[in-house]
Amino acid sequence: MKHRIVVLGAGYAGAFAAGNLARRLSPADTEITVVNAVPDFVERMRLHQLASGQDLALRKLADVFAGTGVRLRLARVTGIDPERKTVAVTDEDGDGDSGVDDELAYDTLIYALGSSVAHRGVPGAAEYGFDVTSRPSALRLRERLGRLGAGGTVLVVGEGLTGIESVTEFAESRPDLSVALAARGELGAWLSPKARSHLLRAFDRLGITVHEHTGIEAVEPVRAVATDGTSIPADVTVWSAGFVVQPIAAASGLEVAGTGQIVVDRTMRSVSHPDVYAAGDSAYAIGDNGLPLPMSCASAGFTNMQATAAIIARLTGSKVPTTGLKYQGNHISLGRRDAIIQMVDRDVRAKSWFLGGRTAARVKSGVLMGAGWSIAHPTFGMPKRKRRLATVPDLAEVRGAA
């Protein structure tokens, strides 16, 4: 009676969770399966670099999980039946067409399917816009930027972290292009005054035009139309105005928030189905400050650590620990040689202190390298003796209650 743990998604949250469980639970008692639609680990935090023309090393998930005991299933998740405790998947053939439909049974499910670009119903955004939320979309943008000649126009929509990192990367790598950013509000308004000044200087240095207080109501092949009717030239429009989660959780009957994220308790356990845990962008989790955690890589780290700690404790009959859910701040790349590190307080308001320039860029690079290394070495720090599950009668009780 091995306890079947199924992890949906092998992004930052899912891959970390699977590796942590494999490190700490005995394979004699557990069977861990990761379901992912693509064979490679995608460094989503670096996809704007890929789109700008830089080459990123690929990490095959088969290699990542080799020797860990984790089973990798390359398939697309199409549905969940939380009452029967099954996941419906569709294998993809070499041409990308639907292949074999199958069903996976679980005792514990970790839902970490992440998020994708939110077009928000803006006409033309899906048809003519580009984004950097997946490797295929980043490569599509890379190919389009590569075909732009000198003087071509690029507009990035959205003043969040993805928008800022993308527009500065494009401007630095292609100084022959005319690069602009459309911001609904004031660029960098959430930063401390000194950090915002650093950001504005970086934009000036890179020659980026900023359209503040400018919402985009339509995207066309060679322009974007602002809410006031202004036409902004854009041979390429990059849409980075937020993220949206997949509708699978809501369609399955799991309790979700208005965002479609799974509502979880302090241990990342679904409040409606206790055998389901959520991590990463898929989780509607409340941080230590009483506010929902933002969709981010940092939140993926917090939530997967809490989810796996809770799962291990409950399966082994231990006290469930609580890990920190405190959002510390932002690491913002401004091209390859500049960055901003902005710390925040308990209420997620910017502190006066910040770090900028090359030192900050080296810190950000270290964060990215550390995350990638951790994914590539899931068994690092493996305890000499892995934890066994509860006795068979107790396990049956856990299976029925969890």
The answer to whether residues 25 and 312 touch, using CB atoms and an 8 Å cutoff, is: yes
Instruction: Report d(CA 207, CA 160) in Å as an integer.
Output: 19
Residue spans of the domains in the chain: they are: 3-114+246-328+371-401, 120-239, 330-360
pLDDT, mean over the chain:
92
Tokens standing for residue 322: 């609580």
CA atoms within 13 A on the CB side of 259: 20
- Among the residue ranges 91-95, 116-120, 206-210, the one predicted with the least confidence is 91-95
Q: SS3 for 194?
A: helix
Q: Do domains 3-114+246-328+371-401 and 120-239 have the same CATH topology?
A: yes
pLDDT band at residue 380 using 50, 70 and 90 as cut-offs? low
Segment 158-170 mean pLDDT: 97
pTM: 0.91
pLDDT tens figures, 35-66 = 999 999 999 999 999 999 999 888 999 999 99
Segment 196-209 mean pLDDT: 98
- Among the residue ranges 232-236, 256-260, 317-321, 342-346, the one predicted with the least confidence is 342-346
The answer to whether residues 158 and 305 touch, using CB atoms and an 8 Å cutoff, is: no
> Nearest-CA neighbor of 78 among 280, 261, 252, 259?
252
Would you state the pLDDT for residue 378? Answer: 76
Check pLDDT > 90 for residue 326.
Answer: no
pLDDT tens figures, 205-241 = 999 999 999 999 999 999 999 999 999 999 999 999 9
Check pLDDT > 70 for residue 96.
Answer: no
Q: Categorise residue 76: left if φ over 0, alpha if ψ from -120 to 50, beta otherwise.
A: beta
CATH tag for 3-114+246-328+371-401 (out of 3.50.50.60, 3.90.1150.10, 1.20.1260.10, 3.30.360.10): 3.50.50.60
**133, burial (CB in 10 Å: exposed 0-12, middle 13-18, buried 19+):** buried
Check pLDDT > 80 for residue 289.
Answer: yes
pLDDT band at residue 385 using 50, 70 and 90 as cut-offs? low
Class of 120-239 in CATH: alpha beta
Would you state the pLDDT for residue 392? Answer: 43
The answer to whether residues 18 and 10 touch, using CB atoms and an 8 Å cutoff, is: yes
Would you state the pLDDT for residue 48? Answer: 97
